[in-house]
Structure 1
Amino acid sequence: MTSAVRGSVRRRATGAGLAALLLAGGAVACGGKGDQSPEMTPAAAVAKAAKNTQDITSLHYRMKGQYPEQGQITAEASMRLKPTVAMSMKMNVPSQGAEGAAEIRLVDKAMYIGGNPEMAKEMDGKTWLKFDLSALGDKQLGAGAAGAGQAEQNPAAESGFLTGAKDVKKVGTETVDGVETTHYRGTVTLDELKASLKKESKDVREQREKSLQQYEKLGVDTMTMDMWVDGQDRTKQFRLKGQADKGPLDMTITFVDYNKPVAVTAPPAKDVADLAEMMKDAQG
């Protein structure tokens, strides 16, 4: 494999991997029990739903929308948060044609991207490309470095963002995937989000700070967020919109289920091309 081909594969795979990891990091998890009181204020309802996300162990969700530079994206994923982080996602970026379909797996601190016949043609028949997140540095990961660390963060960190908005309001009641929900909306700046972290516990604050970094890197200053909360104070759906340096960000995440077993396995070694080894060969 020539260095030019390696570069092409790495750029395409890194772009897909970054989008997947950021989107996974951006997923708002669901959890918790209890009946929502009719008298609860919009801010209190949002805060309760956000708090209920902190104890989940796994989730299954769908995503769709627009991501900067990538364009329209659809994906479905299962993610385990405890005892260790693992994820399996099938993603499609229509604007990239046949090259836009990929499967991403995150397991044992390694990310695998595969399922694309075009990529296999450029990797001597290998159908998966491995990113060893613990071995590759920022320079080797390129843009993917921003998402690599975020992938191991609790995705529930995102759900707390709406609690930082000062204008949270009730939009109405809607049915999402057959579930009756209450729809809330608010707008918040990154500075307001940072200020709101002061009242949080250390663990929550650290999670949200790391999550905020991805939006700073994208150049998003203000976010409009919609949250659909079910009758058990769980987040059933979440939408985040903002303007990034390289285009609009508008993603909707719908939760299918939560706290069910999620098993993710690495692809067979014979089918995997290791990016770290490819980089060593290229340098040589």
Structure 2
Amino acid sequence: MRITRITTTAVTAALLVAGLAACGSSAAKAPSSSAATGAAGAGSVGLPGGAPKTELTLAAAVMQKAGSAKIALSSTDGSTGSGVYGWSGKPRLDFAEQSSGKPLKVRLVDDTVYLGASDTEAVLLGGKHWVKLPASGPGGQVAASFKTLELMVNPAAQLAAAAQAGTLKKVGAETLDGVQAQHYQSTMPVATLLQSMPDLTADQRTAAQDSLKSDGDSITTDFWLNDKRQLLQEKEVGSDSSATPETVKYTDLGTAVNVTAPPASDLGSAADAAKLLGGS
């Protein structure tokens, strides 16, 4: 799993706001705040069955109101990751990923990205466990790429982007992890997605274009909604035959997200970030 990857959900906050504003009175018909908190997956009666655009728009409002969740990522290449993410207000992310037997931690605190190493990998950082990525300069594009991780797993942004710009279809009711869910699918050209991101910085736009195009000219995203229009699971894959499908599961909606910056005494040199990413 390339956690620096920018997927169809890497949309700007402006796109999300525009999408939710477009809901208008429809968003007001979404479930109450009590339906937008708690464990995603509860209940199996009265699944959403309306038009895909309507249901995804309503689900975006539900997930925006929830504001946070525990997340679990997996890929068909065997990579996994898990953590906690808050997307309401200023994004907060505490995430740990395992790929090819090499663990990596990512924290997003106050718009700053930190990469974390295990005790074994800390030797690469002179005994330190964290690296703070610079917002500009040579490391700026790396930081921009990692900031897209929180966009990648932002359920409200995912759903809003698909509702606004995707070619949609209703796949049908399915059982997911023992829970009844309605399955919807969105396909979106990469060019369309990039046109929907006017507020990206130059580094973010470059990272988005490079990452998206590497997986094909379009991206297909699948969504599974429960009876409360909570997003239980999202799966995305690029159109290229070599693209690897990646899945995100959401649980414990509304969970507290308390993410703090690592202590300054445990920060290594930003120049060593490449070592944690597999570089020299």
SS at match of 1:117: coil
Instruction: Check 1:275–1:206 CA distance in 2 against 1; reply closer, same or farther (3 A cut).
Output: closer
Deviation at 1:101, TM superposition (A): 0.8
CA distance in 1, matches of 2:269, 2:95: 19
Match of 2:270 among 236, 255, 275: 275
Deviation at 1:179, TM superposition (A): 2.7
- Mapping for residues 115-264 of structure 1, pairs under 5 Å: 115-133=117-135, 136-137=136-137, 139-142=138-141, 144-150=142-148, 155=154, 156-163=156-163, 164-166=165-167, 168-193=168-193, 215-218=208-211, 219=213, 220-243=216-239, 247-264=242-259
Deviations 1:36-92 (A, max 9, x none): 6766223322232234333342221111115xxxx5421112112344322101110
SS at match of 1:55: helix
Instruction: Check 1:103–1:152 CA distance in 2 against 1; reply closer, same or farther (3 A cut).
Output: closer
Q: What letter corresponds to residue 139 of structure 2 in structure 1? A: Q
Normalized per residue, the structure richer in helix is 1
Aligned to 2:106: 104
Number of corresponding residues: 238
Q: What letter corresponds to residue 159 of structure 2 in structure 1? A: S
SS at match of 2:245: strand
1:80 aligns with 2:86: yes
1:55 aligns with 2:65: yes
Normalized per residue, the structure richer in strand is 1
Q: What letter corresponds to residue 182 of structure 2 in structure 1? A: T
Deviation at 1:256, TM superposition (A): 0.8
Instruction: Check 1:72–1:116 CA distance in 2 against 1; reply closer, same or farther (3 A cut).
Output: same
Instruction: Check 1:39–1:205 CA distance in 2 against 1; reply closer, same or farther (3 A cut).
Output: farther
Deviation at 1:122, TM superposition (A): 2.2
* Structure 1 residues not aligned, in runs of 5+: 1-15, 198-203, 280-284
SS at match of 2:255: coil
Asked whether the 8 Å contact 2:134–2:140 carries over to 1, the reply is no
CA distance in 1, matches of 2:267, 2:144: 23
Q: CA RMSD in A?
A: 3.9
1:64 aligns with 2:74: yes
Instruction: Check 1:140–1:213 CA distance in 2 against 1; reply closer, same or farther (3 A cut).
Output: closer
Aligned to 2:53: 43
Instruction: Check 1:37–1:113 CA distance in 2 against 1; reply closer, same or farther (3 A cut).
Output: closer
CA distance in 1, matches of 2:189, 2:208: 11
CA distance in 2, matches of 1:127, 1:86: 19
Deviations 1:17-51 (A, max 9, x none): x725757x659x9x962696766223322232234
Asked whether the 8 Å contact 1:88–1:104 carries over to 2, the reply is yes
TM-score by length of 1: 0.68
Instruction: Check 1:232–1:91 CA distance in 2 against 1; reply closer, same or farther (3 A cut).
Output: same
Asked whether the 8 Å contact 1:109–1:132 carries over to 2, the reply is no
Q: What letter corresponds to residue 145 of structure 2 in structure 1? A: G
SS at match of 1:122: helix
- Between structure 1 and structure 2, the one with the greater Rg is 1
Asked whether the 8 Å contact 1:131–1:274 carries over to 2, the reply is no
Asked whether the 8 Å contact 2:116–2:129 carries over to 1, the reply is yes
TM-score by length of 2: 0.68
